[in-house]
Structure 1
Amino acid sequence: MTAYPPEPWHLAGQAYVSLWRLPVADLPKLPDGAEPVVLGGRAQVIAAWIDYQEPGQLSYHELLSTVAVRGKRPSASITDIWVDSEVSLAGGRALWGIPKNLASLGFTHGRTFTATAATDDWIATAAFTRRPGLPIATPAAFDVVQALGGQLKRSPVAAKAKPHPAIADWSINALGPLGYLAGRRPVVSVSLRDFTLRFGG
């Protein structure tokens, strides 16, 4: 059994995020009881590459896709997620019901950030070119909503990051688990520099 830190986890690093708007019929499966936020007949899907770094408790790479869902405050449900850390996988599943899987993830940082994710086959690649932004850490708070023990669990997240607009070029395997995003262009993309994150209660 893999040991992992108790919640909350205190994490830090760099994140690269894109937002898509999809017809509800094209969404991946959500946990029972979770309802997507629908605006103008479309739901909101956010996918992100995250490089967790020191001084956070854990260091690893991650690719995830989430759907904005209804809640008393901004909320999202993680439908697809890959990490390259067995500790993160075990803790995410046991503590919060996050359906983490292992994958090979490669990140290259620079003015243009590039990333790849693959298991037996490739999942996705992306390149983010960061634009100038304010050097001010902006706070955010939201809930992650997952199925755990046959019930919906809402886990609070508090974060701070320096947001920068970005131009993102995604390539997604249409036959892979993120195929619902293949061939679609994100509405907006951002780089979240030097984030700090408190995940869980």
Structure 2
Amino acid sequence: MYPPEPWHLRGQMYLSVFLVPRRRLPQLPPVLDAAVRPITIAGRVAVGAAWVHYEPGGVLHYRELLSAVLVHERGRPRVSITDIWVDSVASREGGRRLWGIPKELAEFTIDAETEPLVDASASAGEEPLASALVRLKGRLPGRFPLGFTVAQALGESVRRTPVRGRSGLRTATAAWRPDPAGPLGYLAGRRPVLSLAITDFWLTFGRTPADRARPGQATTRGNTGG
């Protein structure tokens, strides 16, 4: 029903970073909460929210809305996805079963035909989730490496998943309109401190055979592992 790990993906991402009071954050699953801590700046936590259009050329092509918290595990930075929606059953099932990513289904519009404006919205059934208007600005020369580790609760264990790739970058501004009564309501009324377009990216999501051969790459319980 879904491709095996790793997934090779291509597309466009429109990312905004918010600083949110720690008390307003969604609660992490207990096994993950015991292993990681949010990275705070004056009592606020960096939350990334992104619209993603995975395009043909990768193993799957679909659209996505997500929010994720920047955390650390014994000083090592991690990204933990708290809310995420996709319009692909294969992506939902693979994300949940392979990596513990709590994907749900939604309907999307991500209209980039009127560049430099990108108009995006998502709803789950009759319930609106969020919309955003992104204005693309300057393009930075060259292509840039992408690399981070996603930490999620998978059953009673913590799954740590490497993500690697390259992309172009454009500066941007973004006006987000999350539904105040919805799961992203904690972002309602907040302005992002940074917005970027991560353009024409390719990435490898998940562990390759070489990764699995290295010590410390396996799924582990609680606070153990690297």
Instruction: Provide the rounded CA distance (Å) in 2 between the counterparts of 1:31 and 1:70.
Output: 15
Q: Which residue of 1 aligns with 2:119?
A: 114
What is the TM-score with the length of structure 2 in the denominator?
Answer: 0.86
Q: Please identify, of 106-115 and 11-20, the stretch whose mean Cα deviation from structure 2 is larger.
A: 106-115
Q: Which residue of 2 aligns with 1:168?
A: 174
Q: Which residue of 2 aligns with 1:92?
A: 95
1:68 aligns with 2:57: no
**2:24 is aligned with what amino acid?**
D
Instruction: Provide the rounded CA distance (Å) in 2 between the counterparts of 1:77 and 1:29.
Output: 11
CA deviation after TM superposition for structure 1 residue 190, in Å: 0.4
Structure 1 runs, 4 residues or longer, greater than 4 Å off: none
1:198 aligns with 2:204: yes
- Of the three residues 11, 14, 17, the one matched with 1:13 is 11
Instruction: Provide the rounded CA distance (Å) in 1 between the counterparts of 2:187 and 2:62.
Output: 24
Q: Which residue of 2 aligns with 1:127?
A: 133
Instruction: Provide the rounded CA distance (Å) in 1 between the counterparts of 2:64 and 2:121.
Output: 10
Instruction: Provide the rounded CA distance (Å) in 1 between the counterparts of 2:198 and 2:83.
Output: 20
Match of 1:4, SS state, is coil
Is 1:125–1:171's contact at 8 Å kept on the other side of the alignment?
yes
Q: Which residue of 1 aligns with 2:150?
A: 144
What is the TM-score with the length of structure 1 in the denominator?
Answer: 0.96
- Identity within the alignment, %: 47
RMSD across aligned positions (CA): 1.0
Q: Please identify, of 81-90 and 145-154, the stretch whose mean Cα deviation from structure 2 is larger.
A: 145-154
CA deviation after TM superposition for structure 1 residue 165, in Å: 0.8
**1:193 is aligned with what amino acid?**
T
